[in-house]
Amino acid sequence: AADMGDDLERVLLSEEQLHARLDEIAAQIDADYAGQQLLLVGVLKGAVMVMADLARRLRGNVSMDWMAVSSYGSGTKSSGVVRILKDLDTDLTGRHVLIVEDIIDSGLTLSWLLSNLRSRGPASVEIATMLRKPEAAKVEVPVRYVGFDIPTEFVVGYGLDYAERYRNLPFVGTLAPHVYQG
């Protein structure tokens, strides 16, 4: 992390750890959806990395679509206010849907998204998330596939941003407090 200067405190999950866990999750998804058409719904922008790395590991009949919602703004706290910035192009009627997320923090985004997608007549809706902060949960969300449970720290990288930065890091790291405390 030398090129990140002092912004990062430490690496929480290495690229190798993330990829090894995705190998396991992809095998599980392929087994669970064997013989079925699966629609992956990536939640922009944070899910771009996990979507790309998960989807390329799947061997089944898979389509991808994207929604853009936002709840954080540019700060470090969830607001609970969810806005649709871009809706799906796909009709969900009768489809097996797997929502792909980078992180579940308060759970407010996914709780809202789950009921929104369920109202569209899908055959099933499940959730896959790379990261989850169990101690930060304000609402319980039923998650089928979890990469890693992590402590309630501000993390960036592998799709996760702070003020739109650090999404490109191939690993997950903790942000040094001076970065968000100004």
Dihedral sign for Cα 72, 101, 115, 93, please: positive
How near is the Cβ of 10 to Mg ion at its closest, in Å? 20
Among 18, 51, 71, 100, binds ligand PRP (CB under 6 A): 71
CA distance 49 to 72: 19
Spatial distance between the Cα atoms of 40 and 150, rounded to a whole number of angstroms: 24
Work out how close the CB of 180 gets to Mn ion at its nearest, in angstroms, rounded to a whole number. Answer: 17
52, two tokens = 């790309």
CB of 43 to Mn ion, least distance (A): 5
Among 13, 105, 126, 157, which residue sits at the site for ligand PRP (rule: CB under 6 A)?
A: 105
Cross-strand partners of 73: none
3, 23, 105, 149: the catalytic one is 105
- Collapsing DSSP states into helix, strand and coil, what is residue 123? coil
Of 33 and 162, nearer to ligand PRP (C-beta) is 162
Rounded CA separation 100/126 (Å): 9
Q: Which of 22, 26, 29, 46 binds Mn ion (CB under 5 A)?
A: 46
3-state secondary structure of 23: helix
* Residue 76 lies near ligand PRP (rule: CB under 6 A): no
87 is catalytic: no
Q: Which residues participate in catalysis according to the annotation? A: 105
Judged by the rule CB under 6 A, the positions of this chain that interact with ligand PRP are: 43-46, 70-72, 78, 101-109, 161
